[in-house]
A and B are shown apart, each in its own frame.
Chain A
Amino acid sequence: AQSVTQPDIHITVSEGASLELRCNYSYGATPYLFWYVQSPGQGLQLLLKYFSGDTLVQGIKGFEAEFKRSQSSFNLRKPSVHWSDAAEYFCAVVIGTGGGNKLTFGTGTQLKVEL
């Protein structure tokens, strides 16, 4: 079955430290890949996306992600975390250009930032 896995349910980092959130998918074809952030009680905000081309993509708020086909991964990174980055992060996948572009979400990673 097709799936998106975020192995880390919770991550705690110190402010100023680097961050990497893991995301793996299990699909035969190369999917469209997304990272979203959700603050408590809020909707989702798109951080970045990968459709094709350069496998290292830059997003908003200083985030970047790298698509690695050989590892079926799309990990999110930030060199220096700010306290305001504390939130829930979701990796998501869309397969193909048809099918209504349905997003499949990972289970999310809760990020806590220690001051």
Chain B
Amino acid sequence: GAVVSQHPSWVICKSGTSVKIECRSLDFQATTMFWYRQFPKQSLMLMATSNEGSKATYEQGVEKDKFLINHASLTLSTLTVTSAHPEDSSFYICSARATGVTGELFFGEGSRLTVL
């Protein structure tokens, strides 16, 4: 099946710094990628929809200036958590939809962010 890779898997940073997480589709082109956030023992909450070559669409309540999303190519989307604070600590997961394919999404392995 299609592979989506996230990097880094784990990151620890100091409060006030910015962290970038990459999401790559390794063997297919993804017009659309999605970023989710998952708190411990909870479900995945959609943060934003990232479309190649255009601005991301953020879900209600998600600060777009806080969580910067860039989808510069058909195989790469990045999520930058700016001026991170401890409450931003979470598990971030991306998913990608192959161009021309309806419905099915492929998920990355997730990135665990801990802000000290």
Please give the residue numbers on chain A whose beta carbons come within 8 Å of chain B beta carbons, in ascending order: 32, 34, 36, 41-46, 49, 51, 90, 94, 97, 100-108, 110
Bound Cα distance A94, B57 (Å):
17
CB distance from A101 to the nearest CB of B (A): 5
Q: Let me know if B109 and A102 touch, CB within 8 A.
A: no
Are the C-beta atoms of A90 and B44 separated by less than 8 Å? Answer: yes
**Chain B residues near A (Cβ < 8 Å):** 1, 4, 6, 32, 34, 41-44, 46, 49, 51, 57, 91, 93, 95, 97, 102-110, 112
- The majority secondary structure among interface residues of chain B is strand
Q: Which of B1, B41, B46, B93 contacts A102 (CB 8 A)?
A: B46
**Docked complex Cα distance between A101 and B68 (Å):** 21
- Chain A residues whose C-beta falls within 8 Å of the C-beta of B42 in the assembled complex: 107-108
- Whether B49 contacts A103 by the Cβ 8 Å rule is no
Q: What is the CA–CA distance of A53 and B17 in the complex, to the nearest angstrom?
A: 50
A32 to B105, CA, bound (A): 12
Are the CB atoms of A97 and B102 closer together than 8 Å? yes
